[in-house]
Amino acid sequence: MLDTVRIALDEDLASKGDITSLALFTREDKGEAKILLKQDGKIAGLPVAASVFHLLDREVRFTPQVTEGDLVASDTVIARVEGALISILEGERTALNFLQRLSGIATMTHEFVRKASPYGVVVRDTRKTAPGLRFLEKYAVRVGGGANHRMGLYDAVLVKDNHIKAVGGIGMAVRLVREEYGGKYPVEVEVDDLDQLEEAISAGADIVMLDNMKLEDIRRAVEITSGRIPLEVSGRVTLERVGEIAATGVNFISVGAITHSAPALDISLEII
């Protein structure tokens, strides 16, 4: 996390710092600011925001007024910052960028989870994250009540359509993965239709991802597997559709939108 914060600070300050604030204040000028939530939402990123100010100035005091993961109403002060005015102003945008982005992801994830959880379905994320921010964005998904599908290509096997096309079929793909890794990794296979579902079952897949399938085909897939193999739905999952998809009886729903399309939560920092 700290490396990501350092990169973000360097992007904003480079080697010169905040040249506007440096012209207006000295390092001895002290101040206090409040961080204000301006719309309802689920808060994520307070420890990241704190690290922004602490990396800039160990003397800055960052005091959360709510707990990470809280659902908070608009017009709530979520943190206070005290210390050198220059340090507060240098860290302002970077801290807010992290807070707004991560809280937006947590808030959107919470909305999906709220609609899927009554059916016992787990909402999972994807690898559709901003470059360099995957660790933090997937953290925000967990704060929102979702689960991480996989961190990257290195920690889970998912045989996708391009693998299947290039290697010559689902059966061949599953066999080669088993030969390489044995039982080290569960083998998940992405399928586009019910014929491919049958192939994946025959090949011994551990979990099947139903990609961009119609609702009636998802229901049929649940009937075919009868609980023998966990099913995951992906593609075209919206807040409007997630409830009816969850009601089919699948086990997981993966949603790229919770990271790649979550709107930033409206949060500001105000000197007081």
Q: Is 92 a catalytic residue?
A: no
160 a catalytic residue: yes
* Nearest to 108, CA basis, from 137, 66, 79: 137
The yes-or-no answer on residue 93 being catalytic is: yes
Dihedral over alpha carbons 15, 19, 24, 29 (to 10 degrees)? -30
- Give first-to-last CA distance, the chain, whole Å: 29
With CA atoms as reference, report the closest residue to 81 among 68, 64, 96.
64
The number of helix segments (H) and strand segments (E) in the chain equals 11, 12
Q: Please answer whether residues 3 and 10 qualify as being in contact, where contact means their C-beta atoms are separated by less than 8 angstroms.
A: no
Mark out the alpha helices in 117-249 (DSSP H runs): 134-143, 161-167, 170-181, 194-203, 215-225, 239-246
DSSP letters spanning 214-236: -HHHHHHHHHHHTTSS-EEEESS
Q: Which of 90, 190, 199, 232 is catalytic?
A: 190
* Active-site choice (34, 114, 160, 175): 160
34 included as an active-site residue? no
211 is catalytic: yes
153-186 burial, b if ≥16 CB within 10 A, otherwise e?
Answer: eeeebbbeeebbeebeebbebbeebbeeeeeebe
User: For residue 42, what are its two tokens?
Assistant: 């689920």
Residue of 93, 142, 219, 241 with catalytic role: 93
Q: Write down the catalytic residue from 128, 142, 150, 175.
A: 128
What letter represents residue 23's amino acid? A
Pairing verdict, β 231-234 and 252-254: parallel
Catalytic positions, please?
93, 128, 160, 190, 211
